[in-house]
Amino acid sequence: MNTPSTIGFIGLGQMGEPMCSFIAKGETPVICFDLVPGLAPEGASEKAFLAEVIAEADTIFFSLPDGNIVNTVVNEVAAMSNVTGKVIIDMSTIGPDAAKQASKTISAAGMTYIDAPVSGGRQGAQKASITIIWAGPKVELARHQTIIDLFCKNAFHVGDEAGQGQAVKLLNNFLSATALAASSEAVLFGLSHGVEMKTIIDVVKVSTGNNTAIADKFPNRILPKTYDAGFFAELITKDVRLYNEFVQQAGTSNLIGERVAEVWNMVESTLPPQSDFTRVFEVLEQRTKS
């Protein structure tokens, strides 16, 4: 089973840059492109144009902000010559419909599209501990495993169809957003009774209410007031919004989802742009005081 001879990487933002940096430490040459020049990590070469990456790479990773941008890039790629046989591994969070559209366009051009969003945030990307949620041919996952292992701790094949990876990613981020918002309210309740935050965290962390917010974000980001989880409030709000849209399409229960979306919309409108999403605690704390 042949591994790619050259890796391309498109999008060197909060998640893309650290993931690309780990891939560049491997044996396969890495070439990358971003609209902002000068972001290429050590070991990777930067190209001035998207077309240069597509022309030279066998496999191209995407890490882009949203579905509109992904499909704009996909349309450009599909219109290029000599793209047959190339593999696009899209690690963006874009929602099932955008992934299905991208897959349709890529497939029509003779390429393979993998719907492969990642979870773990910037902290996970910086530690090579993220999870990749792979929807696409298992054979391609096996072919790229040595590369994926460079930046990913867990890789799950969740199905063969584009959109399935997005569905799992959105439900995961919805649960993360719910845990953080609900834990913030619960901790504020405990504080109102004179219990110290650290004590609340210590108790809940070994009890039935434990979750990722209590286990990580409160002791490491909120208690020390660093608020540096590395994920913006507007991004988690976007993911919760997408989750709600597709739950409505699916017709499954969404009583909690609607309320969580309201909370995060309020948080996004309250905080300055690019505020860490752990600052939801500050927003809810201020509402408690007012």
Note whether 101 and 175 are same-domain residues: no
| Tens-digit pLDDT profile for residues 59-110 | 999 999 999 999 999 999 999 999 999 999 999 999 999 999 999 999 999 9
Note whether 18 and 152 are same-domain residues: yes
DSSP secondary structure of 87-129? EEEE-----HHHHHHHHHHHHHTT-EEEE--EESHHHHHHHT-
Residue 200 · residue 190 · CB < 8 Å: yes
* pLDDT greater at residue 27 or residue 290: 27
Note whether 155 and 219 are same-domain residues: no
7/231 Cα distance (integer angstroms): 26
How many structural domains does the chain have? 2
Note whether 285 and 210 are same-domain residues: yes
**Residue 75 included in any domain:** yes
pTM: 0.93
**Residue 42, Cβ neighbours under 10 Å: how many?**
7
Q: What is the mean pLDDT of residues 105-129?
A: 95
For residue 290, is pLDDT > 80? no
Q: To the nearest 10°, report the CA torsion of 15, 18, 24, 27.
A: -90
**Residue 218 included in any domain:** yes
Note whether 15 and 141 are same-domain residues: yes
What distances in angstroms separate CA 274 from CA 146, 153, 188, 212, 283, one per listed residue? 34, 27, 24, 21, 15
Q: Which domain holds residue 214?
A: 167-289
| Tens-digit pLDDT profile for residues 145-172 | 999 999 999 999 999 999 999 999 999 9
Note whether 27 and 141 are same-domain residues: yes
**Residue 2 included in any domain:** no
- Considering the chain, what is the average pLDDT of its residues? 96
What pLDDT is stored for residue 230 in this prediction? 86
**Residue 271 included in any domain:** yes
Note whether 132 and 211 are same-domain residues: no
Note whether 146 and 17 are same-domain residues: yes
For residue 1, is pLDDT > 70? no
Domain boundary among 110, 134, 160: 160
Note whether 247 and 187 are same-domain residues: yes
